[in-house]
């Protein structure tokens, strides 16, 4: 008798801590994305087991925004954060001027949602803001796992490369200053999804995330318990984060 696959996501709570850190370095990784490495002794004990975890990054006047923890080096006590640069907002303004030596503080992650990898296939859909989580998921997926990745960035100069052992097909689409998510919405219906039971993960602008989830559930047979769709930002509204459900 074979054991059924474990497909139940697990929630993990973490002690909420605010950490005072310093910018260690910055590095432009694409036209509209800057990688900022932050670090300091207060990163001791930092833990982020979920690929789509988020931390709060605090800026001037205590404004805070959500970012996905990237590579954590427990020896050097450094953490990488990738900031998508857009028109305006405390986070994007801070990221564009960040320099080594500047103070920065973070809080969290408060909790992690651990999605098992034991599915027949995986679908990852998102825009620039989802790239750090997509990078983490691709790094943890098992060797050979059939995976379709659909990412919208503004143009070819915003594309990145990923390290993965999964059998991943990465499709890039370009917004070219059109409505956020419009290129994802146009392309997804034309793509064949991995066969069998898939886990679908979607993160991008609110209206697009809603429409993409509806398409996957209503027209592509993705099961509701195996889809996680989130609004990582909302056009015209600051600091927006919503889980998209029915
Ligand atoms: C769980 C989670 C994880 C996230 N991880 C990351 C991450 O790792 N990297 C990352 O870059 N972002 C990430 N985001 C998105 C980020 O938190 C938002 O884009 C945030 O609004 C940016 O703050 P801001 O101060 O620059 O702009 P805000 O002050 O929040 O907004 C100002 C204006 O800019 C618009 N805006 C906000 N974000 C964008 C955008 N990306 N493109 C175009 N217009 C925008 C808003 O609609 C508003 O009109 C994440 C969001 C969530 C919820």
Instruction: Look up residue 28 and give its two tokens.
Output: 């432009």
Instruction: Look up residue 212 and give its two tokens.
Output: 């993409």
Q: Would you say the pTM of this structure is higher than 0.95?
A: yes
Does ligand 1 come within 6 angstroms of the Cβ of 84?
yes
Tell me how far the alpha carbon of residue 129 lies from the centroid of ligand 1, in angstroms: 7
Q: Which one of 204, 232, 234 would you pick to mutate in the ligand 1 pocket, going by the greatest count of ligand atoms within 8 A of its CB? A: 232
For residue 122, pLDDT beyond 90: yes
| 1 confidence band (pLDDT: 50, 70, 90) | low
Closest residue to atom 44 of ligand 1, CA basis: 86
Thinking of the domain 11-111, which architecture would CATH place it in?
A: Beta Barrel (2.40)
Does ligand 1 come within 6 angstroms of the Cβ of 234?
yes
CATH topology of domain 117-244: Rossmann fold (3.40.50)
Tell me how far the alpha carbon of residue 104 lies from the centroid of ligand 1, in angstroms: 18
Q: Which of the pair, 168 or 238, is modelled with greater confidence?
A: 168
Give the start-to-end residue ranges of the domains of the chain: 11-111, 117-244
For residue 151, pLDDT beyond 70: yes
Percent of the chain with pLDDT strictly greater than 90: 92
Kindly report whether the peptide bond that precedes residue 52 is cis, defined as omega within 30 degrees of 0. Answer: no
Strands (E), 59-215: 64-67, 72-73, 78-84, 103-107, 111-114, 121-127, 146-153, 167-174, 198-205
Closest residue to atom 18 of ligand 1, CA basis: 233
- Contact between 206 and 233 (Cβ < 8 Å): yes
pLDDT tens, residue by residue, 47-93:
999 999 999 999 978 899 999 999 999 999 999 999 999 999 999 99
Does ligand 1 come within 6 angstroms of the Cβ of 67?
yes
């Amino acid at each position: 008798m074979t054991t059924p696959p474990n497909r139940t996501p697990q929630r993990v709570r973490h002690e909420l801590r605010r950490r005072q850190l310093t910018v260690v370095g910055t590095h432009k990784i694409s036209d509209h994305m800057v990688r900022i490495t932050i670090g300091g002794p207060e990163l001791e004990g930092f833990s982020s087991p979920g690929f789509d975890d988020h931390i709060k990054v605090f800026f001037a006047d205590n404004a805070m925004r959500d970012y996905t923890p990237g590579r954590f080096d427990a020896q050097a006590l450094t953490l990488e954060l990738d900031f998508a640069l857009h028109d305006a907002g405390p986070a994007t303004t801070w990221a564009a001027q960040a320099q080594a030596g500047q103070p920065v503080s973070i809080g969290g992650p408060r909790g992690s949602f651990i999605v098992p990898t034991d599915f027949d296939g995986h679908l990852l859909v998102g825009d620039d803001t989802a790239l750090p989580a997509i990078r983490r998921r691709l790094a943890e997926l098992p060797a050979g796992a059939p995976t379709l990745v659909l990412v919208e960035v503004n143009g070819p100069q915003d594309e990145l490369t990923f390290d993965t052992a999964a059998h991943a097909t990465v499709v890039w689409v370009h917004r070219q200053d059109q409505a956020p998510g419009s290129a994802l919405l146009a392309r997804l219906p034309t793509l064949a999804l991995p066969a069998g039971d898939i886990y679908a993960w979607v993160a991008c602008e609110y209206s697009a995330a809603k429409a993409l989830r509806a398409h996957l559930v209503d027209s592509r047979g993705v099961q509701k318990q195996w889809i996680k769709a989130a609004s990582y930002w909302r056009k015209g509204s600051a600091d927006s984060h919503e889980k998209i459900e029915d």
